[in-house]
Amino acid sequence: MQQLTWKVGGAQGEGIDSTGEILGAVLNRMGYHTFAYRHFMSLIKGGHTNYKIRISTQPVHYHGDLTDILIAFDQRTIDENKAELHQNSIVIYDSAFEPQGLESIPCCGIPMRETAAKLGNPIIKNMVAIGVTAAALNLDPAPFLQTVASRFASKGEKIVAINKNAIQQGYDHYREKEKQRFKLPDQTAQEPLMLISGNEAAGFGALAGGCRFLAAYPITPATEIMYWLVNHLPDYGGKVVQVEDEIGACLMAIGANYAGARAMTSTSGPGFSLMQEAIGLAGMAEIPLVIVDVQRGGPATGLPTRTEQSDLNEILYGSHGEIPRIVITPATITDCFFRMIDAFNLAEHYQCVVIVATDLFLGMSKQSIAGLDYDAVKVKRSGLIGDESLADLEPGAFKRYAVTESGISPRSIPGQANGMYVALSNEHDEQAREEMEDRHNRVTQMEKRFRKLSSFQPDQWGAKYYGPDQPDLLLIGCGSTYAQLSEARQALEKAGKKVAHLHLHILAPLPATSVGFAVEQAQKCLIVDNNFTGQLKGLLQREIGLHQKFILHNRYDGMPLTVGEIIARANEVLQ
């Protein structure tokens, strides 16, 4: 695998994102595998933002620890990103400022702002940066010019011309000034690659999984799911409502599910906290419900533009009282797509709440992925009673919450004759007409609800094991840490270490057989949590035991984990 990392940084409002997006788009079209991470702040203009792309000949799920090429529009970009630079990096800075503190790191000043200003619009210094990038990567500027031409086509020829000009001048400037060029290997992917973010994949997965209704409230970093769905659901018979708050959003999704639609809500931590009571309703009334929590830095408003896996506790244990629930943690962007389909099938089958927990890193990052396989998409209907079966029953004999062996009861949909029932938030009996405080009934219904998931086999795909048996060290993570953990494991393996990696795609019900077996086998386990208190570690301690084997490695500064820190920690533990 050959690879290179590139980053552009500056103030918010300087077009940093579009610089990265154009480069990503061109590279992706050329058949390179890319992974792009956006670093931004909770303000609209100013501050510091950067866009990083890892370019590779193989699929990559992470943007990489280091930066080979850093394009800096300001000193702050250098300050904030210096730690990622190495001796073979190059810093290409806007010669409008004099870079400080680069010591021996090679650098090269290009008059980016000046060039743009001369072209009549200083804001297009980002286009100059694209030209510079093309030159630095030793790429033909043509595809960049084309991309920009088609992107700005609607804005008129003059705009297109200026932007193209800016790219060309950036290209020329760099070639004149600087020899050091990174050569990307030739690359043509087998099939055209999709450039897609985790949030887009989740939206697309929801649609493919039969979701036809989204009720949500805007919140970083989840809103892109809503954007994707509002632009697509209506074409497939669906609707999207922006609700007044997350309480209403969750309940609207519950209403639509009750009415027979596959419906969901998407949010992040603060919104998820507001949904706690509603989650209990879905659990009690056995109404299917899919919630996506794109986690961000907490607590409270916290770090809205940073990543964290710190809602796990609330996802697993939130809402008063007790309900069965399924918690899925997609590990990659492709996984975001497929796990959403699973989520809808499972919610319908088990008539329960399914929470899909991603995070800012997974949700907002964009990756080149090989085409999603249509044949792997399976919408499975279940649990719905037919009109004929209802017609066969005595009037009023239908038991919505029938106590069955499986714990799953037949479900009718409003409009079906003879299927009337009340979905109650109070305890109720099989008949589902009125609340019921009787203690024997309570026990029966409680057990029925919790029995439902006994047929669910989380071990089937909820835990994946990579590497040797009986390892000296087992790395354990869930969700978005997959990429860094698997790269770390491979590196450790290469270094001759006997290290395995267990990755959790389902946290509840926990794939306890697989986890228990893997933990038993391993000498030690390094649990990698992207939060402060070690929430995944806590879960495993609770469910698996063997505390003495567990060591925590965690990160809580709002950044995704790095491969390097995991390797370093693993080596430390292995000593």
Ligand X SMILES: Cc1ncc(C[n+]2csc(CCOP(=O)(O)OP(=O)(O)O)c2C)c(N)n1
Residues 173 to 202 in contact with other proteins, rule: CB under 8 A: 192-196, 200
Q: Which is nearer to ligand X, 128 or 278 (CB)?
A: 278
User: Is the dihedral angle over the CA atoms 545, 551, 557, 558 positive or is it negative?
Assistant: negative
Q: Which of 196, 323, 333, 510 binds a second copy (CB under 8 A)?
A: 323
- Alpha-helical segments (H) within 178-275: 198-208, 223-232, 246-258, 269-274
Rounded to whole angstroms, the Cα distance separating 94 from 112 reads: 5
Q: Which stretch binds other proteins (CB under 8 A): 81-89, 131-139, 181-189, 230-238?
A: 230-238
Rounded least distance, CB 564 to other proteins, Å: 30
Q: Which of 26, 206, 219, 346 binds ligand X (CB under 6 A)?
A: 219
Rounded to whole angstroms, the Cα distance separating 356 from 344 reads: 10
Cα distances (Å, whole numbers) of residue 350 to 94, 163, 209, 318: 57, 54, 16, 19
Helix (H, G, I), strand (E, B) or coil at 468: coil
Q: To which H or E segment does residue 292 belong?
A: strand 289-295
223 binds, among ligand X, a second copy, other proteins, none (CB under 5 to 8 A by kind): other proteins
252 binds, among other proteins, ligand X, a second copy, none (CB under 5 to 8 A by kind): other proteins
Q: Which of 12, 29, 41, 493 binds a second copy (CB under 8 A)?
A: 41
Instruction: Tell me if 272 contacts a second copy by CB under 8 A.
Output: yes
Instruction: Tell me if 220 contacts other proteins by CB under 8 A.
Output: yes
Footprint of other proteins on 291-320 (CB under 8 A): 300-301
Which residue has tokens 């990265």?
20
532 binds, among a second copy, ligand X, other proteins, none (CB under 5 to 8 A by kind): a second copy
Helix (H, G, I), strand (E, B) or coil at 268: coil
37 binds, among a second copy, ligand X, other proteins, none (CB under 5 to 8 A by kind): none
DSSP 8-state class, residue 326: E
Residue-wise over 29-67: b if at least 16 C-beta within 10 A, else e?
bbbbbbbbbbbbeeeeeeebbbbbbbbbbebbbbbbbbb
Instruction: Tell me if 138 contacts a second copy by CB under 8 A.
Output: no
Phi-psi category of 9—alpha, beta or left, where left has phi over 0 and alpha has psi -120 to 50?
A: beta
386 binds, among a second copy, ligand X, other proteins, none (CB under 5 to 8 A by kind): none
Q: To which H or E segment does residue 544 belong?
A: helix 535-544
Instruction: Tell me if 478 contacts a second copy by CB under 8 A.
Output: no
Rounded to whole angstroms, the Cα distance separating 157 from 361 reads: 37
Rounded to whole angstroms, the Cα distance separating 136 from 175 reads: 8
Rounded to whole angstroms, the Cα distance separating 561 from 159 reads: 40
Q: Which of 38, 173, 212, 555 binds other proteins (CB under 8 A)?
A: 212
Rounded to whole angstroms, the Cα distance separating 273 from 253 reads: 16
Binding to other proteins by CB under 8 A, coded x per residue (else -) over 425-464, reads xx------xxx-----------------------------
Q: Which is nearer to a second copy, 25 or 522 (CB)?
A: 522
Footprint of a second copy on 489-548 (CB under 8 A): 531-533, 535, 538-539, 541-543, 545-548
Instruction: Tell me if 425 contacts a second copy by CB under 8 A.
Output: yes
- Backbone φ and ψ for 109, nearest 5 degrees, come out as -90, 135
**Residues 253, 266 contacting (CB under 8 angstroms):** no
Rounded to whole angstroms, the Cα distance separating 391 from 51 reads: 60
Q: Which is nearer to other proteins, 416 or 480 (CB)?
A: 416
Q: Which of 51, 217, 401, 550 binds ligand X (CB under 6 A)?
A: 217
From the list 356, 303, 346, the residue with the least C-alpha distance to 557 is: 303
Rounded least distance, CB 419 to other proteins, Å: 7
Q: How many CB atoms lie within 10 A of CB 188?
A: 8
Q: Which stretch binds ligand X (CB under 6 A): 59-67, 161-169, 216-224, 328-336?
A: 216-224
Q: How many residues bind a second copy (CB under 8 A)?
A: 69
Helix (H, G, I), strand (E, B) or coil at 237: coil
Rounded least distance, CB 439 to ligand X, Å: 20
Q: Which stretch binds other proteins (CB under 8 A): 24-32, 162-170, 472-480, 516-524?
A: 24-32
212 binds, among a second copy, other proteins, ligand X, none (CB under 5 to 8 A by kind): other proteins
Rounded to whole angstroms, the Cα distance separating 383 from 242 reads: 30
Q: Which of 373, 394, 405, 437 binds a second copy (CB under 8 A)?
A: 437
Instruction: Tell me if 454 contacts a second copy by CB under 8 A.
Output: no
306 binds, among other proteins, ligand X, a second copy, none (CB under 5 to 8 A by kind): a second copy
What are the residues whose beta carbons fall under 8 Å from the beta carbon of 238, sequence distance 6 or more? 207, 211, 212, 213, 214, 229
Instruction: Tell me if 208 contacts other proteins by CB under 8 A.
Output: yes
The two structure tokens encoding residue 73: 């529009």
Binding to other proteins by CB under 8 A, coded x per residue (else -) over 80-99, reads --------------------
Instruction: Tell me if 370 contacts other proteins by CB under 8 A.
Output: no
The two structure tokens encoding residue 550: 């567990």
Phi-psi category of 25—alpha, beta or left, where left has phi over 0 and alpha has psi -120 to 50?
A: alpha
What are the residues whose beta carbons fall under 8 Å from the beta carbon of 287, sequence distance 6 or more? 254, 257, 258, 281, 351, 423
Binding to other proteins by CB under 8 A, coded x per residue (else -) over 398-417, reads ---------------xxxxx
269 binds, among other proteins, ligand X, a second copy, none (CB under 5 to 8 A by kind): a second copy
Rounded least distance, CB 535 to ligand X, Å: 21
Binding to a second copy by CB under 8 A, coded x per residue (else -) over 223-252, reads ------------------------x-----
Which residue has tokens 């004929």?
388
Instruction: Tell me if 386 contacts other proteins by CB under 8 A.
Output: no
Q: Which of 87, 439, 494, 496 binds a second copy (CB under 8 A)?
A: 439
Helix (H, G, I), strand (E, B) or coil at 409: coil
Footprint of ligand X on 296-335 (CB under 6 A): 301
Q: Which residues bind ligand X (CB under 6 A)?
A: 217-219, 246, 270-271, 274, 301
